[in-house]
Amino acid sequence: MNPFARLLADHPLVFFHLATASAALVLGIVIMTRRKGTGSHRVLGWAWAAAMGSTAVASAFIRDYRMPNLFGYTPIHSLTLLVAVMLPLAIWFARSGRIPAHRRTMQGMFFGACVVAGLFTLLPGRFLGQLVWQQLGVLA
């Protein structure tokens, strides 16, 4: 069985989290490289916000008791709170015409919650990190 099919079967919430986080990462890269303020920017931005919001909600229900934690929540879960606060704030900035604040907030969320969190997720001791590194043949 394909490891991702097994992940879907054994841990559907983790699979959903991986799928929405991957979508947010790809959409974020596309948005960052395209012209801002266009209709497509708005559509892609709403899709990114939906992916980020879904990722954050899913992460609130994923626990890790193997690493240092508080009731299953590890330090990486602080990004869940960050997204829960900053995503609505960034949308409010855009809707109220505060575009520089919107840009800074969205870029900060993208790099912090997508790129940095993604790198921490890929650490060998983490569940998804183990899965990826095993597939690449780095870990036995």
Q: Is residue 88 part of a domain?
A: yes
Q: Is residue 140 part of a domain?
A: no
Q: Is residue 115 part of a domain?
A: yes
Q: Is residue 28 part of a domain?
A: yes
> For the segment 60-72, what is each residue's pLDDT rounded down to a tens digit?
888 766 666 666 6
Rounded to the nearest angstrom, the gap between the alpha carbon of residue 109 and the centroid of all alpha carbons in its chain is 9
> For the segment 60-105, what is each residue's pLDDT rounded down to a tens digit?
888 766 666 666 676 777 788 999 999 999 999 999 999 999 999 9
Q: Are 72 and 65 in contact (CB under 8 A)?
A: yes
Q: Is residue 126 part of a domain?
A: yes
3-state secondary structure of 12: helix
For tokens 């520089």, name the residue: 100
Q: Is residue 23 part of a domain?
A: yes
Domain count, the chain: 1
Range of the domain at 33: 3-135
pTM of the complete model: 0.85
2, 10, 13, 14, 49 from 27: Cα distances, Å: 25, 27, 21, 20, 10
